[in-house]
Amino acid sequence: MCGFTGFLTPTSFNATASERWLCKMCDSIAHRGPDDFGYWMDADAGIALGHRRLSIIDLSAQGHQPMISMSGRFALVYNGEIYNFEQIRKTLDRSAHPPVWKGHSDTEVLLAAIEAWGVEPTLRKLYGMFSFALWDRSRRVLTLARDPVGEKPLYYGWVDNVFLFGSELKALRCYPGFVDVPIDRDALRQYIRYNCVPAPDTIYKNIKKLLPGTIATIRAGISNAHTAAYWSVADAVTNGMEKCFSGSEDDAVDELDALVRTVLSEQMVADVSVGAFLSGGIDSSTVVALMQTQATKRIQTFTIGFDDAGHNEARDAKAIAQHLGTQHTELYVSPSMALEVVPELPSIYDEPFADSSQIPTLLVSQLTRRTVTVSLSGDGGDEVFGGYNRHVLAQRFWNNLGYLPAPARRSAARLIKSVRGETLDRAIAPFIRFLPANRQYTNIGEKLHKLADVIGAVSFDAFYRRLTSTCDTAEDVVLQANVQSLALASRLKSPPGLSATEQMMYLDTVRYLPDDILTKVDRAAMSVSLETRIPFLDRRIVEFSWRLPLSMKVRDGEGKRILRKLLHRYVPLQLVNRPKHGFSVPIGNWLRGELRDWAADLLSPARIESQNLLNPRTVGIMWQQHLAGTHNWQHQLWTVLMFQAWLDTVRNSESDRAGVGSSPQFEYLYKADLMNRMESD
């Protein structure tokens, strides 16, 4: 797990000045790789590559990047892990011209495979999470690539005819001229709707995210990148429907058990300590249970808890850890501890991001990094196996929605929204205990308000959009923004022949998962130099899940059926049979309490009006209604607040971009490394 950055100019560049800018760009992402750094440049060709390394596989200098291929043709900077690199290495060793290995890193194997087979054939053989930039010295072509599902980030775009790329936006912002790149109002509108900026857009005009499973090729002097998919969820869906699993449900559980074990045997490999997040839910419990069966010692597991029962799963995680015999660490977080990290969020997430579970994700990452360098996670299980409440309820609800006249639906929505969420919670609470354990949901009022938002939908697209939107009227919040993003609309087209539930699972996998969940985990973990690995997003598991009939995933009002049956082989039913809570924090209460002064300053009408990006009247009404308790605008306000805080952070750093500096020691080490790399060529 590392970070990289660089640039490609249309002509040769001044090496001295460019070295200093590259140094600054790389220094900005040092948290992604605190163990080592490296630089490689070809001033005549106009290419510069920089790398920060978090050493996981092959801790020696032989894993140093940028790495030059054996023939000298390719230069590579790479972020991530190739889990099947040992098998690929063995295949290359059996070839007619086996490589002469210098070390045992997956980086060296990746580079040798590309030299032997080419970029796209190599990508089709990889199982892993990664992004990389590859310079072909003979053809003078730069190739960018990103892993199939989008675990690792990659940004790119042009500033003053210079092509910039990197693992985080902050690296690109260090380049001279970026200060003049404007905010994209259309992307801002999408952010207000979804609490993140959906790919391929970013918050900046002309700066993009490379989509998952995609290759981009760029030539110096040509102001566009040619992109092509080498793998897609859509193809996995189509192929899965053509080769549908024909065995019994028990057969499917057997195959999934074997497949997860195979993936875990690869993902548990590291030259550093490995642990796992354990929330107590189905997904993380399954990962930890199968890890423990393959481990020679007790797995280290980590969780955080809150004293607020509605936001706490620590007790459940502890019970599962005790049953499995893991070495468990838990930390109960006070509101003051959680609030202390809020000022750090805009810098950590680098682009406006407002999924409030970013707070506990950062806290559990900090806790975990005290003990281990790599942590496995149960993320992805909901998207791949149908675990969200909307997957369970959507088909029935959507089928029945059309029977109600539109005026009746609108009246029902107004009635529900007229009652505060907290009031609904209190009214329903006495009856919850009579429901089955796995139906005793929390935050009922919030869920009913969400229901009110969607019952007016006139099409499935609108239905899904409203279900997954933080703010369905984002155009009322953002000034001068278009209503529709064509780039996003092209992503949200599901393959034909899917049920409403399967369409949601597909759309969640291609949009919500990479743009929200994986962004949240990557930035939080990498801010403390922790590598996260996500077994359920291995493409073999994703492909297998789409071979299964929906009834093996969602049935009888319950999601993740096959995962539950797998977990029940290792963990008693009573330990995990409960409703899904999520990884949430009481943001609404904090905004009326401990965070009130901070929020009031960022939401000042004068401040918002001077920025000329958001509508001060709309924001002001939401803020006053939330403070008065007549409405719960916690999610919408958190989205606005994270944008405002991000904007402050970026503008405060603009003066730094005007300077160059790095420490004299860093500059000295950088130049020494540069000379060594040039001499080795």
CATH number assigned to the domain comprising residue 180: 3.60.20.10
3-state class of 446 per DSSP?
Answer: helix
pLDDT category at 681 given cuts 50, 70, 90 is very low
**Does 676 score more than 60 pLDDT?**
no
- Rounded to whole angstroms, how far apart are CA atoms 55 and 103? 13
Percent of the chain residues past pLDDT 90, beyond the cut: 68
Helix (H) or strand (E) run with residue 227 in it: strand 226-229
- Rounded to whole angstroms, how far apart are CA atoms 49 and 166? 10
**Does 236 score more than 60 pLDDT?**
yes
Residue 409 lies in a domain: no
Give the domain-ending residue among 231, 260, 292: 231
Cβ(343)–Cβ(369) below 8 Å: no
Cβ(22)–Cβ(184) below 8 Å: no
Residue 445 lies in a domain: no
Residue 661 lies in a domain: yes
**pTM of the entire predicted model:** 0.90
When mean pLDDT is compared across 197-206, 233-242, 333-342, 571-580, the lowest value belongs to 571-580
DSSP code at position 630: S
Q: Are 263 and 295 in the same domain? A: yes
Residue 578's pLDDT is what?
A: 67
Residue 305 lies in a domain: yes
More confident call, 492 vs 103: 103
pLDDT tens by residue, 48-69:
999 999 888 877 888 899 999 9
What value does the mean pLDDT take over residues 231-251? 96
Closest-CA residue to 517 (of 633, 386, 383, 644): 383
Which tokens in the block code for residue 390?
């909307």
Which residues are catalytic, by number?
A: 2
Q: 377 a known binding residue?
A: yes
The residues with which 157 forms a beta bridge, in sequence order, are: 164, 207
Q: Are 179 and 43 in the same domain? A: yes
Q: 455 a known binding residue?
A: no
Q: Are 62 and 192 in the same domain? A: yes
Cβ(655)–Cβ(616) below 8 Å: no
Give the domain-ending residue among 212, 231, 250: 231
Residue 325 CB burial class (10 angstroms; 0-12, 13-18, ≥19): exposed
Q: Are 572 and 591 in the same domain? A: no
- 597-618 as b/e: b if 16+ CB within 10 A: ebbeebbbeeebeeeebbebeb
Residue 664's pLDDT is what?
A: 35
Per the listing, tokens 């996500």 go with 534
**Does 668 score more than 60 pLDDT?**
no
CATH code at position 294: 3.40.50.620
Per the listing, tokens 């989205």 go with 639
Residue 574 CB burial class (10 angstroms; 0-12, 13-18, ≥19): exposed
Q: Are 221 and 251 in the same domain? A: no
How many residues are recorded in the chain? Answer: 681
pLDDT mean across residues, the chain: 88
Residue 256 lies in a domain: yes
Residue 434's pLDDT is what?
A: 60
More confident call, 327 vs 483: 327
Which range among 479-493, 638-652, 665-679 has the greatest average pLDDT?
638-652
Which range among 151-165, 435-449, 463-477 has the greatest average pLDDT?
151-165
**Does 259 score more than 60 pLDDT?**
yes
Q: How many domains does the structure of the chain reveal?
A: 3
Residue 661's pLDDT is what?
A: 40
- What is the span of the domain harbouring residue 240? 234-386+518-576
pLDDT category at 510 given cuts 50, 70, 90 is very high
What value does the mean pLDDT take over residues 122-147? 97
Helices (H), 97-152: 106-117, 119-125
More confident call, 473 vs 323: 323
pLDDT tens by residue, 485-508:
666 777 778 899 999 899 999 999
- Rounded to whole angstroms, how far apart are CA atoms 245 and 614? 50
**Does 655 score more than 60 pLDDT?**
no
Q: Are 636 and 559 in the same domain? A: no
Residue 484 lies in a domain: no
Q: Are 262 and 221 in the same domain? A: no
Q: Are 335 and 248 in the same domain? A: yes
Residue 618 lies in a domain: yes
Give the domain-ending residue among 231, 255, 287: 231
**Does 455 score more than 70 pLDDT?**
yes
What value does the mean pLDDT take over residues 564-577? 90
Residue 421's pLDDT is what?
A: 65
Q: Are 239 and 344 in the same domain? A: yes
Residue 20 lies in a domain: yes
Phi first, then psi: give them for residue 625, nearest 5 degrees: -65, -35
pLDDT tens by residue, 154-197:
999 999 899 999 999 999 999 998 988 999 999 999 999 999 99
**Does 657 score more than 70 pLDDT?**
no
Q: Are 227 and 239 in the same domain? A: no
**Does 350 score more than 70 pLDDT?**
yes
Q: 265 a known binding residue?
A: no
Residue 671's pLDDT is what?
A: 39
Q: Are 82 and 107 in the same domain? A: yes
pLDDT category at 441 given cuts 50, 70, 90 is low
Q: Are 546 and 643 in the same domain? A: no
Residue 435's pLDDT is what?
A: 62
- Rounded to whole angstroms, how far apart are CA atoms 561 and 317? 20
